[in-house]
Amino acid sequence: MTMEPAGGERGDAFDLSMAVSSLQSNSTDSRIMLKLLVEQLTDVLGGRISVERAGGRFRKSDEIKSVQIVLGDDTLRADVDGATVRCSIGHASGGIRIRSEQVGMDAWLTRLLTILHNEAAHSEQTRLALENIVIGESS
């Protein structure tokens, strides 16, 4: 089974720039987009994703304060600060972090989708989650 991005007629091609554009056009608010990504990826990634929610010990909130996703040697982190989402990608080698860079949401999403796309070649669950992220859940 091949994966096509929304509106794609390209056969086996997976167009990351189209996928990122699709994600961002479907949710102009980065915080909402981040929340939707977390909902789609939590079951698939299990312990590789950690989410810190806003609110205190006694008040639960579904608003996300930060997300950290560890995929291979990369750690993708997004921190919500008011209306702003700050993204970074950390790289490790041999279990030791060698660098971390601040990136824009586009670069962060592109890296996340690239890693997930590569993983989807070996995991049906990841492939289905990636399809839901890119083309939306079918009703």
Domain assignment present for 8:
no
- pLDDT confidence of residue 3: 39
Q: Can you give the pLDDT at residue 6?
A: 38
Amino acid letter, 131: E
- pLDDT at position 4 is 38
Choose among 29, 37, 33, 32: nearest CA to 130. Answer: 37
Domain ranges, residue 63: 16-135
pLDDT given for residue 118 in this prediction: 84
For residue 113, give the 3-state DSSP assignment: helix
16 Rama sector, left if φ>0, alpha if ψ -120 to 50, beta otherwise: alpha
Per the domain annotation, does 7 fall within a domain? Answer: no
What pLDDT, on a 0 to 100 scale, did the predictor assign at position 11? 35
Q: Residue 30 and residue 93: Cα distance in Å, rounded? A: 30
Q: Give the pLDDT of residue 139.
A: 40
Tell me if 31 is assigned to some domain. Answer: yes
**Contact present, 87 and 104 (Cβ < 8 Å):** yes
pTM above 0.95, yes or no: no
In a domain, 121, yes or no: yes
**Identity of the residue numbered 99:** R
Residue 4 included in any domain? no
Question: Is residue 1 domain-resident?
Answer: no
Q: How many domains does the chain contain in total?
A: 1
Please give the average pLDDT of every successive group of 10 residues along the chain, which has 139 residues: 37 51 61 84 90 78 90 93 90 87 91 86 80 63
Q: Which residue has the tokens 């600060």?
A: 81
Q: How far is residue 139's CA from residue 137's CA, in Å, rounded to a whole number? A: 6
Residue 10 falls inside a structural domain: no
Cα 112 from Cα 37, distance rounded (Å): 10
Res 31: pLDDT: 82
Predicted local distance difference test score (pLDDT) of residue 15: 57
